[in-house]
Amino acid sequence: MSLVRICGVRKSYNHSIVRRVAGDREYPVLKGIDFKVEREDFIGIMGRSGCGKTTLLKMIGTMDRPTKGSIFYEDTDVRRLKTEELAALRRNKIGFVFQEFNLMENLSVEENIMLPMVLNRRGYRDMRAVVDTNAGLLEISGLLKKYPYELSGGEKQRVAIARALSNNPDIILADEPTGNLDMPSALNIMDCFTRINRENHKAVVVVTHDPLIASYCGKVLFLGEGVIQEVYESSGNRNRFYEQICNRQILSYSRG
């Protein structure tokens, strides 16, 4: 059974500016998306700005609802879940990583990592063990007593990833997770995602505009015109996959 199934998903918006110009006409962003996320998949989502990458990621994360179509987590259609059930799904099945880190500045690193577990009312000893495990995995054990303002961008993102892993989710959703980082820090973050995918057996879905970042993935979906235009799969050679992604991106821009 697939971890996530996206079936005929469409998303339209009816912004006020659109209503003034075109009455009740809707603006379609996604026009029919179908794909599956299997356990331990490492998927990149690419495409031009405004093509719906983040919109799609939000719907996979149940933070937004499709206009039409269905999203299933295992055999559960998320449209049928009540508000509290959706919240539980997000807490327990999905880990989120954002470009802006979204750490609580008044909490220490270890408290930030604990926060999702506090919301799940887990015991302190259990939380302490998870913090130590995740901090070791992300190589931030020496930072646990520090506060976000004392950290570099790359360190903040590793803390955010450790937090996303706190409730042992099945899937990590990352929206431009390296967008605010220098290249060495960005590649370090992608190494972290690779370890999480391979060693912790988590599915990872990353939205990015950078071919080098996308080359870490096992599969890359190219969005355009509201649909998945192409799917590229890695042969295991990252350099070759990077070149393939670059060529696809150049072709896309040359088409205007």
- pLDDT, residue 15, reads 56
Structure confidence at residue 1 as a pLDDT band (50, 70, 90): confident
- pLDDT, residue 6, reads 97
Greatest Cα pair distance, the chain, in angstroms, is 58
Q: Residue 212: pLDDT above 90?
A: yes
Q: What is the pTM of this model?
A: 0.93
Is pLDDT larger for residue 146 or for residue 254?
146
* Residue 4 belongs to a domain: no
Our count of domains for the chain comes to 1
* DSSP code, position 150: G
Going through the chain in order, the beta strands assigned E by DSSP cover: 4-13, 27-37, 42-46, 68-73, 76-77, 94-98, 171-175, 203-207, 219-224, 227-233
Lookup: tokens for 46: 């690419």
* Residue 239 belongs to a domain: yes
* Residue 186 belongs to a domain: yes
- Domain containing 227 equals 38-65+82-254
Amino acid symbol at 246: C
* Residue 17 belongs to a domain: no
pLDDT 10s digits, 53-108 = 999 999 999 999 999 999 999 999 999 999 999 999 999 999 999 999 999 999 99
- pLDDT, residue 182, reads 95
pLDDT 10s digits, 7-55 = 999 999 875 544 555 556 678 899 999 999 999 999 999 998 889 999 9
* Residue 11 belongs to a domain: no
* Residue 21 belongs to a domain: no
Q: Residue 256: pLDDT above 60?
A: no
Q: Residue 113: pLDDT above 80?
A: yes
Residue 220 sits in a domain whose CATH number is 3.40.50.300
* Residue 121 belongs to a domain: yes
The span from the CA of 194 to the CA of 199, in Å, is 8
With the CA atoms of 123, 125, 126 and 127 taken in that order, what torsion angle do they form, in degrees rounded to the nearest 10? 80
Q: Residue 128: pLDDT above 90?
A: yes
* Residue 114 belongs to a domain: yes
Nearest CA to 35 out of 248, 245, 230, 249 is that of: 230
Dihedral sign for Cα atoms in the order 27, 172, 2, 93:
negative
